Structure 1
Amino acid sequence: MIETLASYRHRLGLALLALLLPTCLTAQSTAAISYTLDASASSVSARVPFFGLSSKTARFPRMEGTVSVVPGAPERALVDVTFDAEAIEAPDETTLRRLRGERFFWVERYPTIRFVGRSLTMTSATQGRVTGELTARGVTQPETLDVTFTGDPTEAGSEAVSFSGEMEIDRRQYGMKSYQLIVGNKVKIKLNARMVPN
């Protein structure tokens, strides 16, 4: 009777192990890969048409952020990047003063700009679209960032990955409606970033 009970327990343990092992392996294989943005190797710029003949570009040299990617499930990716609006740079003092002022970024009241991407759709091994929300001047709008990676971000994890991204927004949706006869409404934003695995 004792041997029978021991044998039963042994078989039960093996059965439980067989049931749990695939779950454990799946959980390990789908663990999120986390990155931190390398601010020293990253930059973002915003270019806007000027008088319909040329353009002016502002730059945001200071930022921080994190990226989380799940292998095999890019739709579960999370991108969270914050730009320091107070550190904005412009090609001339007049433009800088206006951009920092109440009619544009109003950095005194809204010192940061934030993009939170909640899903990554890969269109190839190194290209995709990140959908999420951009918050600027206290207004949040849905936006899409087209991205190009230097490698497959869902297969990395042990090495840094760089990417470039572009999106076009309408500044009027963020309460920036001044100087429409001089400054274009469509703003092209470009992001270059280097992600370092945690």
Structure 2
Amino acid sequence: MTSIPQLIFAFMQIGITAFGGGLSTLPLIEYQLVTKNGWMGVEEFNQMVAVSQVTPGPIAINAATFAGYQQAGFWGSFASTLALVAAPLMALSIILFLLQRVSPEKSKNFKLMLRPVVAGLLTLSIISPFTSTWNNGAVAIALFAVGVGLIKFSKFFKENPATMLIIFGIFGAFFLR
């Protein structure tokens, strides 16, 4: 059983350092839950992400609620979710206060500096699930590359991405078990 202050501290760190939202938070959540604290294994983390994606609401909040409940029951769930939301709200309020008091040029430069951070986090969020799949992710990465190529160079798939998702879903169901 994990203590509630440990959950609060972990999810405050996730909330404050997660830029870009959505999938870009997954590497940070995985680091806290799997690598740093050992609250769950990689397979369990991937299952939690899958459940978080199919339930309504943002992935990070669903993950905080799930992990908090798993570790410390209702109050752990409540504390984790609150910490995830409250920490960035406080940080953003302070940053907004400071950005309103500096020149527009400095404000623009700060926002431009965040772009590589978000790009890196999004890249990690794509790579992480692939590495836990068949053949250390090689097949999944190849399928991803094929999918990007089809959308970029095929007029049919660019206009009908749902068709490509169905084809890749069927392929995955039969060959990536």
- State TM-score, norm by structure 2: 0.22
Higher strand fraction: Structure 1 or Structure 2? 1
Higher helix fraction: Structure 1 or Structure 2? 2
Larger Rg, first or second structure (1 or 2): 1
- State TM-score, norm by structure 1: 0.20
